[in-house]
Amino acid sequence: MIGRLRQRSWETPDGERRSVAEIEADEVGASLKWATARVERAAIRDGGVRSPGR
DSSP calls for 1-54: -EEEEEEEEEE-TTS-EEEEEEEEEEE-----SS------PPEE-GGG-EE---
In whole angstroms, give the CA distance from residue 30 to residue 2: 12
pLDDT digits (tens, 9 = 90+) for 1-54: 789 999 999 999 999 999 999 999 998 887 888 888 888 888 887 766 555 554
> Domain extents for the chain?
1-29
Query: Model's pTM, two decimal places?
Result: 0.43
Task: Note the pLDDT of residue 30.
Answer: 79
Task: Note the pLDDT of residue 9.
Answer: 98
